[in-house]
Amino acid sequence: MTVPIAKLSFWGVRGSTPTVDPATWRYGGNTPCLELIAPDGTQFILDCGTGLRMLGSRWAAPNGGKVPETHIMVTHYHWDHIQGIPFFSPLYVQNNEFHFYSFRSKYLGRDSLKQVFEAQMALPYFPVDMSAMNAKRKFKEVDGGDSFTVGENKITARWLNHPQGCLGFRIETPAGTVAYATDNEPGDAKLDENLRELAAGADIFINDAQFTPEQLETTRKGWGHSSWLEGARVARQVEAKTLVLFHHDPDSTDRMVDTILRQAREEFDSVFAASEGMVITLGAPGDNVQAHMPGTRTALRREAQFQAKVCGVTEGGKDFEEATVVRDISLQGALISLKHLPRLQSELQVTMEAPGVDGVQSMHLRGYVVRIDAGAEKGHVAVGVVFTD
Ligand SMILES: [Zn+2]
Ligand SMILES: [Zn+2]
């Protein structure tokens, strides 16, 4: 018997507008786009922010081309959720076929999403004519409260509290359930209930975490977004298993998102901050939810043999200290072999010993776990760390 596995990839996690500020590179600057490959091979794409371009450039027909079905859910028509459409190269390939789902906007009327396509590519906003988009496109209107099935998967849409409306989607696959609730603000009883219904018992609950709880109460009230604290509260209430903080503010630096994540982990046990390139596997034997991060270091790297002392927090939440050797270093990070299994996206204190003119000197660095792989040595894991200061 094969175990059904679903794979959820984060191609864009930033809210409102893309960022190219180096202080945001670690979590990433592309706007919302997620991809969920269900166990039956159906490919779901959630939102068409600038992350969609990256997905298009790594395009492979779903299920090896055997069932080339791609279903694209667009939550709403704000720029950050549609801006990737004209740059999604598979739309310009004749044999591809896409099923789009979105709601009828009262500002646009019938065929809202089709109109969004046309408007985005109208003269003088875009150099290429709409006729160059050769792929077959089917548009389906969905309303809050609708439920439908695609392959073996059940999709439910619910309205969320956001200016001009936004749909949240719950996708139930045989490997587990993903609730995608970007762009929503707490405070409307009926719509808050919708959010809880979407997230009820979900394996992965992706929620808007753009603002801090303080901003949400004061300067950013009414802007249509939520906070890590609201996400943690809802996750606890509805017994969602893992919370993913999403739609990071363009003004939030990586260090600020680190702090947000740390605070959220004090409130709820299993939390990740959505990070560009992050992949979550659902339904894998042993651990139902497994997160993996991409290789993020692009800087010059060199093999090294530095003695080091490492302090951090394990997967189980316990503090640890370990003496080891740093085997590879760059100006951004290092690869460290550890017996302990540190928690992904947690902080590590690394103290390295380096021979100096006045004897052995130590270099203290604070790092952040971005990647964990099987180690070269038995009983060890290879831990990728990005230095933050
Ligand atoms: Zn947004
Ligand atoms: Zn929005």
The pLDDT of residue 285: 67
Q: How far is the CA of 100 from the centre of ligand 2 (A)?
A: 18
Q: How confident is the model at residue 10 (pLDDT cuts 50, 70, 90)?
A: very high
152: tokens are: 């073996």
Mean pLDDT for the chain overall: 91
Q: How far is the CA of 15 from the centre of ligand 1 (A)?
A: 5
The pLDDT of residue 359: 76
The yes-or-no verdict on residue 270 having pLDDT over 60 is yes
Q: Which of 17-26, 147-156, 284-293, 328-337 has the lowest mean pLDDT?
A: 284-293
Q: What is the pLDDT of residues 313-330, one digit of tens each?
A: 998 889 999 999 888 777
Ligand having the closest approach to the CA of 247: 1
State pTM to two decimals. 0.89
Q: How far is the CA of 83 from the centre of ligand 1 (A)?
A: 11
Ligand having the closest approach to the CA of 16: 1
d(CA 85, CA 109): 20
Q: How far is the CA of 54 from the centre of ligand 1 (A)?
A: 18
Ligand having the closest approach to the CA of 209: 1
**Span 194-211, average pLDDT:** 98
Q: How far is the CA of 275 from the centre of ligand 2 (A)?
A: 19
CA distances from 143 to 146, 147, 167, 236 (A): 6, 9, 8, 27
| CA angle, residues 235, 80, 94, in degrees to nearest 5 | 110
The pLDDT of residue 305: 79
Which chain residues have CB less than 5 Å from ligand 1, an ion?
15, 80, 183
CA distances from 97 to 68, 106, 136 (A): 7, 27, 5
Q: How far is the CA of 334 from the centre of ligand 1 (A)?
A: 34
Q: Which of 11-20, 46-55, 365-374 has the lowest mean pLDDT?
A: 365-374
**Span 66-88, average pLDDT:** 91
CA distances from 163 to 73, 106, 312, 379 (A): 18, 12, 42, 52
CA distances from 351 to 93, 354, 369 (A): 52, 10, 15
Q: How far is the CA of 33 from the centre of ligand 2 (A)?
A: 13
Q: How far is the CA of 66 from the centre of ligand 1 (A)?
A: 33
Q: How confident is the model at residue 59 (pLDDT cuts 50, 70, 90)?
A: confident
Q: How far is the CA of 224 from the centre of ligand 1 (A)?
A: 9
E strands, 224-346, in order: 242-246, 271-273, 279-282, 289-292, 301-313, 319-330, 333-338
Q: How far is the CA of 116 from the centre of ligand 1 (A)?
A: 16
Ligand having the closest approach to the CA of 15: 1
DSSP of 320-333, one letter per residue?
Answer: EEEEEEEEEEESSE
Q: How far is the CA of 162 from the centre of ligand 2 (A)?
A: 7
Q: How far is the CA of 77 from the centre of ligand 2 (A)?
A: 7
Q: How far is the CA of 77 from the centre of ligand 1 (A)?
A: 9
**Span 290-297, average pLDDT:** 67
Q: How far is the CA of 247 from the centre of ligand 1 (A)?
A: 7
Ligand having the closest approach to the CA of 210: 1
Ligand having the closest approach to the CA of 249: 1
Ligand having the closest approach to the CA of 31: 1
Ligand having the closest approach to the CA of 223: 2
The pLDDT of residue 297: 45
DSSP of 54-110, one letter per residue?
Answer: HHHHT---GGGGSS--EEEE----SHHHHTTGGG-GGGGSTT-EEEEEE---TTT-T
Q: How far is the CA of 307 from the centre of ligand 1 (A)?
A: 45
Q: How far is the CA of 150 from the centre of ligand 1 (A)?
A: 25
Q: What is the pLDDT of residues 339-387, one digit of tens each?
A: 999 999 999 999 988 776 677 778 888 989 988 988 888 899 999 998 8
DSSP of 280-296, one letter per residue?
Answer: EEES-SSSSEEEE----
- Rounded CA Rg of the chain: 22
Ligand having the closest approach to the CA of 160: 2
Ligand having the closest approach to the CA of 78: 2
